[in-house]
Amino acid sequence: MKNVVIISSSMRKGNSDKLCDYFQKGVIESRNKVERINLRDIELKFCLACRDCYNFGNCTQNDDMNKIYPIIKAADVLVLATPIYYGEMSGQLKVFLDRLYPLFTSIGKKDIYLIASCYENDTSFIDSSLKSIKRVLSDFGLVNIKGIVYGENTDEPNDISSKQLLAAYNKGKAI
């Protein structure tokens, strides 16, 4: 049984979050274990670049990341979901990735899935917008991108289509 962790970074229950819901349903049906973390529901402070994690091995800030570090470490599969803002991952997801610095050399091997939504009706726009996420992940040694779930052509929170949701479900089920 695989241990799947889904990080949903949109501040609204919109398109990328709904893709997470369907991906999660698929994972549950495949009888793997799944944990969902919505960044809008947690206290997430900025990285202070204090290097306490570097010198002492853990983050000395007191917020919800302390509970999340062991969850990320134990994951076999990490799913990162983001709305595209200005051709980039969301600021929330970037802050989350910054705060993973304490795990920089110890995060372990994981399969990665990326989920993204944007108003451009073009999946290649999403591919180019995900370049910096992939770069950050490769700094952690996470290069095994197993799949991308596309939520192109969406702007209002309910714009995601049933076809796109089905694709998310199928990817989750195939884990």
Ligand X SMILES: Cc1cc2nc3c(=O)[nH]c(=O)nc-3n(C[C@H](O)[C@H](O)[C@H](O)COP(=O)(O)O)c2cc1C
Q: Which residues bind ligand X (CB under 6 A)?
A: 10, 12, 14-17, 83-87, 117-120, 154-155, 157
The HSE-up count of residue 131 (CA atoms within 13 Å, CB side) is: 5
Sheet containing 33-38: order of strands: 33-38, 3-8, 77-83, 111-117, 145-151
The least distance separating ligand X from the CB of residue 25, rounded to whole angstroms, comes to: 17
Residue nearest to ligand X (CB): 14
Max CA distance (Å), the chain:
48
Q: Which is nearer to ligand X, 87 or 141 (CB)?
A: 87
The least distance separating ligand X from the CB of residue 157, rounded to whole angstroms, comes to: 5
Q: Which is nearer to ligand X, 107 or 114 (CB)?
A: 114
With CA atoms as reference, report the closest residue to 42 among 92, 90, 108: 92
- What distance in Å separates the CA atoms of residue 147 and residue 41, rounded to the nearest whole number? 26
Q: Which is nearer to ligand X, 16 or 24 (CB)?
A: 16
The least distance separating ligand X from the CB of residue 151, rounded to whole angstroms, comes to: 6
Q: Which is nearer to ligand X, 101 or 125 (CB)?
A: 125
With CA atoms as reference, report the closest residue to 169 among 121, 115, 119: 115
The least distance separating ligand X from the CB of residue 12, rounded to whole angstroms, comes to: 5
